[in-house]
Amino acid sequence: MRKLIITAAIAAGLMSTTGCGPQEDDMKDKTIEAAAAEARADIDALAALLGSSPEVRQDVISDCVPGDDASGKTLDYAVRVQVEPGTLGRLKTEVAEQYEADGWQVKLDPGTNSVRFAKGSETIGARVFEDRGSAVVSGSGGCVK
C-alpha cells in the first residue's frame, strides 16, 4: 500500500479559510467534537484512497480566529501516506470524479500537485509528492460556535 506524509506547513497551505460564513447554518446543531470526528473520518478516507501507512501529523482544535475564543472552534487535521507512481493522475481523475458524484465541490489546481474538496462547511486538500513517494491530506470541519 501507499503512505501519506503530511506536515503542518503543507496542511496550512492546503486548507481553505475556515471562518464562519455562508456555511454557518450547517454548523448550528453541531458540536466541535462532532464536526471534528466527521472531518477526521473524511480526511482519513481520502488518505486511504491515495496511499498506505497513514501517519497523523496534525490534530488540533483551535479558535476560528486566532486568539478570539468567541469566534468558535475549528479542527486542523493532517495525515501523511505513502503513495505509488500514478497517484496524482488518479487523484485528479477518478478520485475527483468520485467525490464530485458524492456532492463535493472539487477544485483542480492545473499545473500543481494538489486538489481541493469542499462540502458544507468542510474543506479538504490533497497534495501528492510522487518523487518522494508521499501525499498529504489535510482539512477542517469548519467553524463551530
Taking the CA atoms of residue 57, residue 125, residue 70 and residue 63 in that order, the dihedral angle to the nearest 10 degrees is: 20
The reported pTM is: 0.81
Closest CA to 123 of 25, 55, 57, 38: 38
Q: Looking at this protein, which amino acid is placed at residue 26?
A: D
For residue 35, the SS3 value is helix
Which pLDDT value is given to residue 8? 32
Residue 143 to residue 65: CA distance in whole angstroms? 9
Which pLDDT value is given to residue 13? 42
**Phi, psi dihedral angles at 39 (to 5 degrees):** -65, -45
pLDDT digits (tens, 9 = 90+) for 41-86: 999 999 999 999 999 999 999 999 999 989 999 999 999 999 999 9
For residue 136, the SS3 value is strand
Which pLDDT value is given to residue 28? 59
Task: Please report the domains of the chain, with CATH numbers, ordered by start residue.
Answer: 8-140 (3.30.2030.30)
Q: With 50 as the cut, is the pLDDT of residue 92 above it?
A: yes
Which pLDDT value is given to residue 7? 33
pLDDT digits (tens, 9 = 90+) for 117-136: 999 999 999 999 999 999 99
Pairing assessment for the beta strands 122-129 and 105-108 based on DSSP bridges: unpaired
Taking the CA atoms of residue 81, residue 139, residue 15 and residue 63 in that order, the dihedral angle to the nearest 10 degrees is: -130
Which pLDDT value is given to residue 123? 97
Weakest mean pLDDT among 14-23, 24-33, 115-124, 132-141: 14-23
Contact 4, 77 (CB under 8 A): no
